[in-house]
Structure formats: C-alpha cells, structure tokens
Amino acid sequence: MTEREVACIYYMYEGGCSKGKKGTFREACQICKKYKPRTGTAPARANLKKKKMEKIRERDIRQMLRDY
Ligand code: SF4
C-alpha cells in the first residue's frame, strides 16, 4: 500500500477536496490519481518504518565491517 504522508494541494479539510473527490486523507487520498503533494510542508507523521529500516541497515553494515 502507498504511504502518502504529505497532504495534497487540492486537500482543504477532512472530507473536503477542491477537485470534487472524497478528500479523506487516510482513505481516498492514499489511492487517488489526482494526488499532488504540497511542497514545503512537513509530513503528517514521521515515516517510522523507513527510519527503523535505515537503523537496521546501518547496524548490519557496522557488524559486517567488524567481522571482516
Ligand atoms: S488526493 Fe485526490 S481526493 Fe485527496 S485531496 Fe487530492 S484530489 Fe482530492
């Protein structure tokens, strides 16, 4: 599933979309074809999954270099 954390430029409020779509951020906006992310805005929440994967990857590289 796609993870869109930045609001769309057409998003006004929950259930309100200037393009006449549903405009529900956690449902319709995640799969909408008209989605265009806003620039210069912070995401609604941090991508913890990505952060965790980076941390695990760094740990594995350090461990691999130590064992080498
Ligand atoms: S992603 Fe689609 S539904 Fe959501 S605000 Fe943008 S145009 Fe509207």
The string of pLDDT tens digits covering residues 6-15 is: 999 999 999 9
Q: How far apart are CA 61 and CA 4, in angstroms?
A: 29
Residue of minimum CA distance from atom 4 in ligand 1: 29
Domain residue limits, the chain: 11-67
pTM for the whole thing?
Answer: 0.68
User: What residues in the chain have per-residue pLDDT under 70?
Assistant: 1-2
Q: How far apart are CA 63 and CA 40, in angstroms?
A: 37
| Of 40, 41, 31, 38, residue with least CA distance to 21 | 31
What pLDDT is recorded for position 47?
Answer: 79
Residue among 2, 3, 4, 11 whose CB has most ligand 1 atoms within 8 A, to mutate: 11
Q: Three-state secondary structure along the chain?
A: CCCCCCCECCEEECCEECCCCCCCCCCHHHHCCCCCECCCCCCCCCCHHHHHHHHHHHHHHHHHHHHC
Residue 4: CB within 6 Å of ligand 1?
no
